[in-house]
Chain A
Amino acid sequence: MTKNSYKTGPNELGYFGEGNSAMGGMAVGETLMPVLHELNQGFEDAIKDQSFLDEFNYHCKHYIGRPSPLYYAENLTKKLGGAKILFKREHLNHTLSHKVTNSLFQVLLAKRMGKKALICESGAGQHFSATAAVAAKFGMPLTGVMGDIDIARVNQNIIKAKHYGAELKSVPGTLKEAITEAIKTFSSNPDYAYICGSAVSSAPYPRIVQFAQSVIGREIREQSMEQEGRLPNMLIACCGGGSNLIGMIHEFLDEPEIIKIGVEAAETAALSNGTPGIMQGMKTYMLQTDDGSKSLGGSSLGAGIQYFSVGPQHAFLKDQGVVKYTSATDKEILEAYKLIASTEGICSALEPMAGAAELIKQAKNKPKDYLICLNLCGTGEKDLNTIQEHIGKDFE
């Protein structure tokens, strides 16, 4: 990482920052270390290969449908009476979330490296269904690991993944347990490719996911200049592991005049309420017991942001004061959902509504020429049962 840019990290061992406060690294068993070094080399080679990048870009356009629109939320803007609000509509991508861009990139990388089978973990099931779709397209078998609590609440993604031909491995719990089990499955099958769904885990995953998702920010720059003649003043995204957030802000990390806000689930706000620790392959902020023996954290309605920890680059950006991190409660998430559904006719996933809750607070007090962009990173179809259960009566 060069001292004058936040965009060049991490170093070759996966550290963001210097000395003892550096975040990230490689905290995995010996079985996976050679495999992860091989992956890092494969990644570095691939991103220097223009034909590989051309292939990725081609499928981004024709399979995923990128670029996703940058949409002026006119009714919401008028309703709140403050800043001008834009939505980056990542929920319109194929498989209905931002996840598929990363799945596409990593599956193409796995193919380039000669891998024959895939493993992934998932929380909200978005990464599972996205990876399953790409795996089907490129003819590779996939095993997805999910927690049984999540399997029960995001059933639609599971059904789709099954139709795409993926196998599902269930473990008791949620995303946290799925990640630990995915690492175990990977250790037992080190010749497989592990397609990590967020900017978390051991190096090189945080860097790979950041690379794949940072197309979001580059599109925002181009679209905002074209449509608005200028860049947003503020970027907001929800943050579980932090892939949609880093994808949105990475392009702008060296532009301090653009305010960046990440919003975690209040019940699992690792950056707001956690301390540095080392679990699940990385050093980062996390909720754990003081003695480091147990991960902690409650449950959020947003399965994809219910995670006790967070990607190490976010931990670093928090320490550097480059990004502001806050959190939203289930109640705020549901209120934001209602407002956006009724004003804009958009059924959003619950996760980005954590970002929307912060957006509502921020927009109200800003002048009309202040431009705020929210990353709307997923669709609400997977959450309809949960939403109906909690606020269905409010719409009757």
Chain B
Amino acid sequence: MSDRLKKIFAEKLPKTKLVSYFVGCYPTPEISLELIKEAINNGVSILEIGYCTSEASAEGPIIKAAHDHVLSNGHNLNDIIKLVKDIREYNQDVGIVLMGYIANLYKYPISNFVDDIKVAGADAVLVVDAPHELKEENQLREALNKNGLSLIKLVAPTTDDNRLKDIVKIASGFLYQVNVSGVTGVKSANEADVTNFVKRIRNLTDIPICSGFGIKSPEDAKKMANSGCNGVIVGSAFVKYIQDNIENKDLPQSLGNLVKNFTEELK
């Protein structure tokens, strides 16, 4: 379990933590770092830094386009870990979660990956396509736990209570509550569904819950914060903003303003 994540959720303020997803090295490694610094300056509690895979199976069109951009520029997981190191040098308090797919980790391979991200200053890893049934998930979880890092587990609307119990038992850092069935950045989350889901999880565990998928605006974030979750996760909305303003010289500052619009609603 990551001490830094524990500390973040132990703090009273902000009341609801903003977890923001950025595609690492998008649009370039340099600009990516500047964007993330501004996100930190404007109150992000936890960063999810995405590393890219060509056959990513949970990404909607917005994040897929960003992945393809990074892959065609030739940036891989090594560059993302370098980015994590730069972020950690800039700030020692923000939580950093590496997020992506098992394909890259398997080839890295897993044991070296955990060593390298620990040195770089990451706190946790989230692997979209590595359920606890997968051997490599077991290897990764064991290596992370041994090193004081967390494997972030996901629960989805399709996850029944028996399965939820199994996942809660192995969860570390926080639980990623997937609000809607589907890919990133398409459907919108429904407040009542999210609230009921949070309740269902809360009956089983005290671990922090971060609610993600389908949160597109500061207003959405505020609504979801009322569900009783400890954090809200915003991904496609930020990636889309970056995509739409990619030529803008003031992009880091204006993204920072957008992040602030979210954090203001979560104080």
Identify the A interface with B (CB < 8 A).
13, 15, 20, 22, 25-35, 176, 180, 183-184, 187-190, 277-281, 283, 288-295
Identify the B interface with A (CB < 8 A).
51-58, 60, 71, 76-78, 101-108, 128-131, 133-136, 154-160, 163, 167, 178, 181-183, 186-187
Distance (Å) between the CB of A35 and the closest chain B CB? Answer: 6
Q: A30-B154, A190-B181 are in contact. Are A293 and B54 (CB under 8 A)?
A: yes
Distance in angstroms between the alpha carbons of A176 and B56 in the assembled complex: 12
Cross-chain contact B55 with A291 (CB below 8 angstroms)? no
In the A-B complex, the 6 residue pairs with the smallest Cβ-Cβ separation, listed nearest first, are A292-B107, A188-B182, A31-B156, A294-B54, A292-B103, A30-B154
Q: A27-B134, A277-B106 are in contact. Are A33 and B163 (CB under 8 A)?
A: yes
A-B contact pairs, 21 of them (CB 8 A): A26-B133, A26-B134, A29-B129, A29-B156, A34-B158, A34-B159, A35-B158, A187-B183, A188-B186, A278-B102, A278-B103, A278-B106, A279-B53, A279-B101, A289-B76, A292-B104, A292-B106, A292-B108, A293-B51, A293-B53, A293-B54
Cross-chain contact B53 with A292 (CB below 8 angstroms)? yes
Contacts of A22 in B (CB 8 A): 135
Distance in angstroms between the alpha carbons of A254 and B182 in the assembled complex: 42
Contacts of A295 in B (CB 8 A): 54-55
Distance (Å) between the CB of B215 and the closest chain A CB? Answer: 17
Cross-chain contact B103 with A184 (CB below 8 angstroms)? no
Cross-chain contact A293 with B178 (CB below 8 angstroms)? no
Distance in angstroms between the alpha carbons of A189 and B129 in the assembled complex: 17
Cross-chain contact B131 with A20 (CB below 8 angstroms)? no
Q: A35-B158, A188-B182, A293-B54 are in contact. Are A30 and B131 (CB under 8 A)?
A: yes
- Contacting residue for A291 out of B107, B134, B183, CB 8 A: B107
Contacts of A289 in B (CB 8 A): 76
Distance (Å) between the CB of B173 and the closest chain A CB? Answer: 16
Distance in angstroms between the alpha carbons of A278 and B55 in the assembled complex: 10
Distance in angstroms between the alpha carbons of A189 and B106 in the assembled complex: 29
Closest B residue to A183 using CB positions:
B57
Given contacts A184-B57, A292-B107, 9 further A-B contacts (CB under 8 A): A31-B181, A33-B163, A183-B57, A187-B183, A188-B183, A278-B106, A278-B136, A279-B101, A293-B104
Distance in angstroms between the alpha carbons of A187 and B180 in the assembled complex: 10
Distance in angstroms between the alpha carbons of A29 and B158 in the assembled complex: 11
Cross-chain contact A187 with B107 (CB below 8 angstroms)? no
Of B108, B130, B158, most buried by chain A (CB within 10 Å of CB) is B158
Cross-chain contact B160 with A34 (CB below 8 angstroms)? yes
Contacts of B133 in A (CB 8 A): 13, 25-26, 33
Distance in angstroms between the alpha carbons of A31 and B60 in the assembled complex: 15
Cross-chain contact B77 with A291 (CB below 8 angstroms)? yes
Distance (Å) between the CB of A312 and the closest chain B CB? Answer: 13
Of B78, B106, B154, B187, most buried by chain A (CB within 10 Å of CB) is B106
Distance (Å) between the CB of B66 and the closest chain A CB? Answer: 14
Closest A residue to B103 using CB positions:
A292
Distance in angstroms between the alpha carbons of A183 and B76 in the assembled complex: 24
Cross-chain contact A277 with B107 (CB below 8 angstroms)? yes
Contacts of B160 in A (CB 8 A): 34
Distance (Å) between the CB of A79 and the closest chain B CB? Answer: 43
Contacts of B134 in A (CB 8 A): 25-27
Cross-chain contact A28 with B181 (CB below 8 angstroms)? no
Contacts of A291 in B (CB 8 A): 76-78, 104, 107-108
- Contacting residue for A28 out of B77, B105, B131, B159, CB 8 A: B131
Distance (Å) between the CB of A119 and the closest chain B CB? Answer: 13
Distance in angstroms between the alpha carbons of A9 and B103 in the assembled complex: 24
Distance (Å) between the CB of B24 and the closest chain A CB? Answer: 12
Distance in angstroms between the alpha carbons of A28 and B76 in the assembled complex: 22
Contacts of A277 in B (CB 8 A): 103, 106-107
